[in-house]
Structure 1
Amino acid sequence: MKQFFASTIHKSLTVIALVLASFTAGFAQTTVKGVVTDARTHEAMAYVSVAFAGTSQGMSTDGQGHYSLTTNATDRKQIQVSFVGYRTVLRDIEVGKDQTINIALTEERNNLAEVLIKSGKKKKYTNKNNPAVELIRQVIAHKAQNQVENYNYAEYKQYEKMAFSLSNLSDKFRQRRVFKNYQFLFREQQDSTAIGGKTLLPLYMEEKLSSNYFRKAPYVKKQIIEANKQVKYDENFVDNQGLAAYFNRMYQDINIYDNNVSLLSNQLLSPIANNSPDFYKFFITDTLKDQSPKLIELSFTPRNTNNMLFEGKIYITMDGNYAVQGAFLTVNKNINLNFVRQMEASLSFEKNNDGRYHLSQSNLRIDFGLNKNKGGGIFGERLVTINDFVINTPRPKETYDGPAQVFVSNAEKKDDLYWTASRPVKLDSASAMVYKNIDSLQTIPSFRRTMDIATLVLAGYKNFGPFEVGPINTFYSFNPVEGFRGRLGGRTTTSLSTRYYFETYGAYGAKDQRFKYFLSSTYSLNNKSIYSFPQNYIRASFQHDTKIPGQELQFVQESNFFLSFKRGDNDIWLYNDIFRFDYVHEYLNHFSYAVGFKKWNQSPAGALLFQNLMPNGELNNVGLIHTTELSLQLRYAPHEKFYQGKLYRTPIPDKYPIFTLNYTQGIKGFFGGDYSYSNLVGNISKRFYLSQLGYTDITTEGGYLFGKVPFPLLDIHHANQTYALQLQSYNLMNFQEFVSDHYASIFIDHNFNGYIFNRVPLLKKLKLREVVSFKSLWGGVRDENNPAYDHSLLRFPNAGGGTYSLGSTPYMEGSVGIGNIFKLIRVDLVKRFTYLDHPGAPEWGVRTLVKFDF
């Protein structure tokens, strides 16, 4: 009996112990925390999905990549970490313990040029009854509700990082003698399969921290930049402001909900554009049930791999929103983008309080190179993170007033401690050192010599500290009037002063045996370089030189050696004495005005004669025309971007229009002026993007001159007798062939971006681009300004084919061309349609343009 009770008690205690163990185990808590980073860059990754494997219990990492998961369940034995464009990671965990597990995610390098679906019989891809296409149509139908613009108000904090490096550098390249003093610049080696290759040499970085505000009605989108940090090179060599503008134009924000996505000054059709099923193939490749909400992985690829299209994956929420939760975009190797070896863009979206989604992070990376497969190149990356997203909370009216982008007064003066505390993403060691490294680099004599040589070759100026000599392409030229023309000049630099600038040159013509010269003095009113935006200066100048009537060249100088070669007769010239006084004031919103005073004496040169008919019927030679003018120019170029070169601003094309209005008033009797007249000219130019059909540049201009003037003061239309293609001139019109006192013109230049050639098997591999253009000019000369009706006026010249006024028929010319030859050259076959009976008027011509495009 005793033994029986002992056995019973032992069994009871065992059962109780097991029950207690089970009970306590059931309440044992498992906690997993850590940081998720990029295995290549070692940067913390925000908004990465971390969940217990096989469940919907999870979270997203914060702005610093941190996560923390807790559970009482005993069947949670793994965590799953996933992010668009990266390989999913599974890690074992210990039940009932607190543990730290840091995860480094590796990029997923999928080549989605082709998606194979195996079945008993291969089916032809079709949109009809295709569940993937039905899904993308749902996404398209819900686009409006899933965009920020759907909210009445929105605001958020944004961090941007733009970085550029020399990429894919070999060990042999790094060990060259020329880099002996530059080893500190090289970034630590990364995974050799990573975009950009194994070795990078950082050259540029820019960071911004901003507060952003959106209002739906009236529409306002405003960015207040609270901190800005940029690698800066010596401004005698580089326009840092223009460099930043150029990079930001290349790497614009990617809004996948737009029908077209801007990339490298091109537009690529979005995979969720309204007509995307006509250009893309879609495939459902995965269902992610362990996410909350459930996601559908939708892969897509272009129907034509040469077109301006993406390929990749998008992740669609199945919660009724049909929103994009993430996207991984790349381009096919056959795409007609110049110099692009690889492109990757990853987008991540976060759920708002109302259940909809906003972009939380984007990362665009592009590797450029002359050779698609090997050799060094340039790697560029733009990372954007968005946090503290608030919806439908209006701010005071003054928050939305003013320019679209505003820098706080001390934005560029924030110290390293501020940036370390404020960056949502930690920089790797090489990126953190790039600012200091580039400053150190510019103190090395060999680097400064290299920059000096590059400036001489590219900009044409040789720097001597406070003064630079150039441009070298004007040192020698020739023309029928001057014969051989030698010229030497230069200007001061910011090393002498940021307020005072002086420019001069002297020239001599061997044939006419005359000296020419130019002097100017400029005073900057805002204590900034006159070559930086916004400009605010006064300038006085005097020029004694030759000029082709009506030629106002924008981006080159007439004495440029390469413009010495011209077709036809080119002996109609002027000798000019021009004194100018100008005041220029630009504003941050890209509105500007310029007020000018001009005293101009012009006399004929070469075959040009100034003659009028006397009452007795004899011709009278007039040796000199005196004019005195006051002028006003108003210009508005919203969102304009440009690179400020040594001579001119090089515009960075965009979709925004440019408006210009010029008014000139000639005053008789003022400083010796002989004529009283008014001239009003308006100009509008704009680029229109047409998605897969390329883009069209359109310029319209009109002018009206009030008053009675001789022909040199009429509007002399821009002609081109060189063999270079000039987009803003009439390429088959002769110099001074047409004059007007009222006119209207239109220039149309359309680039198909290879849309047609990409469909021709033998041509698509050459990546050529087809272009067409058309130019037309309407106008005329009123009787009061026509010497045929008023003999006191100067007669129209007969030299060089003669000068004419336009009749009822407009002047017209058009061209068809092939662009992107060797990625640089455009060749046009130009045809002139009207006024072919004029002496020396060419009907056909071939013109060439060297143009750098992506």
Structure 2
Amino acid sequence: MRNKLKSIFILIVLFCINSYGQVKISGVVVDEQNQSIPFANIVFGGSTIGTVSDENGKFYLESDNNYTQIEVSFLGFQNKKLPIKSRDFNLTIVLVEEAAQLGEVFIYAGKVKKKGNPAIAILEKVWARKRQNGIYLFDQYQYEKYEKLEFDMNNVDSTFMKKKLFKGMEFIFEEIDTSNITGKAFLPIFINESVYNSYGRNKGGKKLREDLIANKNSGFNSNQNVIAFIKDLYVEYNVYDSYIKIFDKSFVSPISKTAGVSTYNYVLSDSAFIDNKWCYNIIYYPRRKGELTFKGDFWVNDTTFAIKDINMKVNKSANINWVKDIYIEQEFDVLNDSIFLLKRDYMMSDFSINKKEKSKGLYGKRTTMYKNYEFNKPKEDNFYAKESNIYEESIYNKTNDYWSLNRQEKLNENELGIYKMLDTLTTVPKFKRLYNLVSILGSGYIEFNNFDYGPIFSTFGKNDVEGWRIRVGGRTFLGGNEPWRLQAYTAYGLKDNQFKYGVSGKWMLEPKSRLTIGAGNRRDIEQIGVSLTTTNDVLGRSFASSSLFSSGDNSKLTSINLSNVFMSVEPKQNLELRLGASYRTLKSASPDTFNLDYWVDEAQTIKKSDVVQSEIDFSIKYTPNRKTIGYGVERNEVSSTYSTLFLNYSRGIKGVIDSDFNYEKIQFYYKQPILIGGFGRMFTTFEVGKTFGEAPLGLLNVVPGNQSYFTIDNTYSLLDYYEFVTDTYASIHVEHSFNGRFLSRIPLLRKLNLREIVGVKSVWGEISDKNRALNASNINYLAPNKPYIEYNVGIGNIFKVFRLDFSWRGNYRDVPNANNFAIKGAFGFHF
């Protein structure tokens, strides 16, 4: 989340740059009683270039052609033609009701009847033929794709430009552009361009391969967080699908067969020739407020019933944070007089703290162009399995001549000026200071040339053993794509008067397969047993060992000395194989209240209080559909909505460097996010594991408790640390967010945009008699032989950033000192 916040902070601070359309107009459409008319048609005279007024009757329209007239229409009102100037803003257009038809005409601002509606009849033919158009008709297809991602600062006015913040940086305002969607002035501050060769197959199992041919960034070239954030915003979608997934949310498509008619009103508005094809124009708008829906119009061909053009604008009352507007356009080309192929896909989002008309924010834009379609050129199965080498330097070093030839849409003067403007901006001392400030707030690190100090949020902590804890640390940073990285920290406890430290390093030997080696050592105090699936992360330290965030007893802490070495490789994208070896010693950090003692002999006469263990481990991690940015030893993730499968095998070897135990441990972890149409998103997590052989408390699987005030993933909110101890376990967590589907229908709650969350967690486990007999600690082993169950109900999106969870036990309620009910919260940045 910090990376995303950093990205947004950076984009907002970098308010960064005259091409004018021939005609720009805006205004409002009203009736004779001065009541606004939503969803009215406004079209330039003699053209099909137009727009639809919003729910408040407001509109903006722009064209490069020199039009002198517009025509405004809405069912039940007389069409109105009026002359316009090249710059005609704040128009008030009054439509008059058609008196001759007042007895039989419906004013389509509310619900529209389905029966006998010609728009519905046309939609039924679209649904029947949606798989008989475009690339679905061919066994194989290929095309060239050009993608442009852009961010702009919007609502720039003279007052804003005169702020002291920009003193010394006034040159960034030399050229300002205007949005042809909203009419707002904006400054382009970031562009990322890509060229792809795409190959697909429909027959014999759907496959798609995309080879990145060229990539170019302007602005934030080295800031992988910003690029990752922008990439995460825009995913592929298909208007023929029932739901269109944007910002991890499912919007009902206006072409949806399953949910369209129950969600939208449809009105047949017009018909005209477009590219020599006769087409029908259908206006649609949502039946209810607060849902994830669009409004707009689309043109449908009268013979193939394929979509020729479609405009989609998100309803402003939709339950989505930080986004004031979303606008989508898709244009389709005609092949052989019958087949419609996607030609241009444009999406614009208006990001803002609130949804007020004059609030300043950022435009995020994606333009995707397609050309040179070819069909039925057979490819072998292994062709689609191969992956292009995205680390090839030539991809990122294309000449200006190359880009001039391969851009399917030319950059305007402002976009081209970003390259020069940001090069100049990075030399301005004031800009550097601003950039450093927001970078610190976002990432938690302070940048010093090739070294980052931090994370600053871990500088202070407190627990029962160390008292107040002071920590300093840092990492190397050479731009974000370096093949190696070193990290280190040291900490000191004012109560135990002891220094702690950690150091690690890794080096990527071969970028294509990501062959990497690494090693590290850490001596510190931590709360073990806060995760069922264990790892040997040298620098990982849970905040569970800090009483700043804890409730109840916080004294069951462990002193750990961990060293490890590893080698990892990715033979296939998103498939990581890792082989490692570790050596650790464990002992209680507070022996007066907690210990890890175990019996050395069968007669139980000799105890040992520390654990010494050597271990080798092998793991497989698969994250299908995960997208990353960058090509260094560390990369940033583009999206979090991917599944994760993790399988780990480890073996403890007795006698190696005085190691105490022989055992084998196998663990499996699976996490799957599921978008369920208009019913929100579900997360499911499943874990199983077993330890073969004898092992003491410090090496067993402790069911993770949560003695903090916050909701923490994959822990049990009502369990204390060490309440359940197992050597064999199975755990499942299911949580579903309805994204406000029900609360948005309650009038008094609708405007709060609250979101409902429900969940259930359960864990089963057992512990062998041999491991029970081994135990000499003051922890009484209790395994959940009867599965432990926990339920929670939550309200999310409180003030857009807070979530409140109410949890209660389903069983084990009579256990001594059991927490049967708890209220916990969590902060988060979510759309």
Give TM class, smaller chain: 0.7 to 0.9
Amino acid at match of 2:168: N
- State whether structure 2 residue 206 is matched by structure 1 residue 222: no
- Once residues 626 and 408 of structure 1 are traced to their aligned partners in structure 2, the CA distance between those partners, rounded to angstroms, is 46
SS at match of 1:357: strand
- Name which of 687, 692, 715 aligns with 1:729: 715
Q: Match for 2:565 among 570, 581, 597?
A: 581
Q: 1:499 to 1:42 in 2, by over 3 A?
A: farther
* 3-state SS in 2 of match to 1:452: helix
* Structure 2 counterpart of 1:745, one-letter code: S
After the TM superposition, which of the residue ranges 502-511 and 698-707 deviates more from structure 2? 502-511
Letter paired with 1:314:
F
**Residues 1:250 and 2:237 aligned together:** no
**Residue deviations 1:92-138 (CA, integer Å, cap 9, x gap):** 9xxxxxxxxxxx99999999xxxx99742676632223222122121
What corresponds to 2:182 in structure 1?
195
The one-letter code matched in structure 2 to 1:419 is W
1:756-790 alpha-carbon deviations (Å, 9 max, x no partner):
01100001111111111111111111223223xxx
1:363 and 2:350 correspond: no
1:549 aligned residue: 528
Equivalent-residue separation in structure 1 for 2:210 and 2:753 (angstroms):
38
TM-score in terms of structure 2 length? 0.83
| Structure 1 equivalent of residue 518 of structure 2 | 539
Select the residue among 394, 399, 414 that pairs with 2:398: 414
| Correspondence for 2:740 | 754
Which residue identity does 1:743 align to in structure 2? Y
Deviations 1:205-245 (Å, cap 9, x if unpaired)? 1011121111122422111221111135374xx3x2x5334
Q: Distance in 2 between matches of 1:504 and 1:402?
A: 38
1:99-118 equivalences in 2 (<5 Å): none
1:781 partnered with 2:775: no
Q: Distance in 2 between matches of 1:359 and 1:613?
A: 71
Equivalent pair of 1:327/1:346 in contact (CA under 8 Å)? yes
**Unmatched 5+ residue regions in structure 2?**
1-17, 24-44, 53-60, 69-84
Report 1:98-137 matches (<5 A).
Answer: 119-120=102-103, 125-137=112-124
Q: Kindly indicate whether residue 797 of structure 2 is the aligned counterpart of residue 795 of structure 1.
A: no
The 3-state SS of whatever aligns with 2:277 is coil
Separation (CA, whole Å) in 2 of partners of 1:576 and 1:91: 75
The 8 Å contact of residues 187 and 430 in structure 1, kept in 2 or not, is answered as no
8 Å Cα contact 1:261-1:268 kept in structure 2: yes
**Are the counterparts in 1 of residues 691 and 700 from structure 2 also a CA contact under 8 Å?**
yes
Q: Taking structure 1 as reference, are residues 618 and 839 closer, same or farther at Cα in structure 2, changes over 3 Å only? A: same
Q: Which residues in structure 2 correspond to 1:765-780 (within 5 Å)?
A: 765-780=751-766
How far did 1:685 drift?
1.0
Cross-structure match for 2:267: 283
* Equivalent residues in 2 for 1:567-716, closer than 5 Å: 567-586=551-570, 589-606=573-590, 607-612=593-598, 620-641=606-627, 653=639, 655-716=641-702
2:658 alignment partner, SS class: coil
Match of 2:315 in 1: 332
Q: Is the 8 A contact 1:467 1:496 kept in 2?
A: no
Q: Deviations over 1:522-553 (max 9, x none)?
A: 333247xxxxx985432221111111121359
Q: Match for 1:377: what amino acid?
A: G
- Secondary structure of the 1:805 match is coil
Kindly tell me: are residues 647 and 732 of structure 1, through their superposed partners in 2, closer, same or farther at Cα, counting changes over 3 Å?
farther
- 1:209 equivalent to 2:195? Answer yes
Confirm or deny: 8 A CA contact 1:696 1:748 kept in the other structure.
yes
AA aligned opposite 2:668: G
Deviation at 1:651, TM superposition (A): 5.4
2:527–2:545: 8 Å Cα contact kept in structure 1? no
In the alignment, the residues of structure 1 paired with residue 545 and residue 174 of structure 2 have an alpha-carbon distance, to the nearest angstrom, of 43
User: 1:806 and 2:764 equivalent?
Assistant: no
Distance 1:611 1:212, change over 3 A: closer
Instruction: Identify the residue that residue 55 of structure 1 maps to in structure 2.
Output: none
Aligned residue for 1:822?
799
Deviations 1:783-805 (A, max 9, x none): 23223xxxxx123534xxx5421
Larger Rg computed on CA atoms: 1
* Residues 109, 719 of structure 1: alpha-carbon distance in 2 compared, 3 angstrom cutoff: farther
Residue from 172, 175, 178 that aligns with 2:165? 178
Deviations 1:331-383 (A, max 9, x none): 11111111222221111111122612111111111111112122320111111
- How has the CA–CA distance of structure 1 residues 741 and 41 changed in structure 2, closer, same or farther, with 3 Å as cutoff? farther
How has the CA–CA distance of structure 1 residues 444 and 340 changed in structure 2, closer, same or farther, with 3 Å as cutoff? same
Q: Distance in 1 between matches of 2:571 and 2:734?
A: 30
Separation (CA, whole Å) in 1 of partners of 2:613 and 2:371 = 62
Structure 1 unmatched runs, 5+: 1-37, 44-77, 93-103, 528-532, 788-792
Q: For 2:829, give the aligned amino acid.
A: F
Cα distance per residue 1:612-637 (max 9 Å; x no partner):
46889877542211111111121111
The equivalent residue for 1:831 is 808
Report what 2:279 is aligned to: 295
1:740 aligns to 2:726 (yes or no) = yes
Equivalent in the alignment of 1:13: none
Q: What is the one-letter code of the residue matched to 2:330?
A: L
Q: Kindly indicate whether the alpha-carbon contact (under 8 Å) linking 1:204 and 1:434 is maintained by their aligned counterparts in 2.
A: yes
Structure 2 CA distance for aligned equivalents of residues 782 and 478 of structure 1:
36
- Looking at structure 1, the residues matched to 380 and 630 of structure 2 have their Cα atoms a distance apart, in angstroms, of 37
- CA drift of 1:496 comes to 12
Tell me how far 1:393 sits from its aligned partner: 3.1
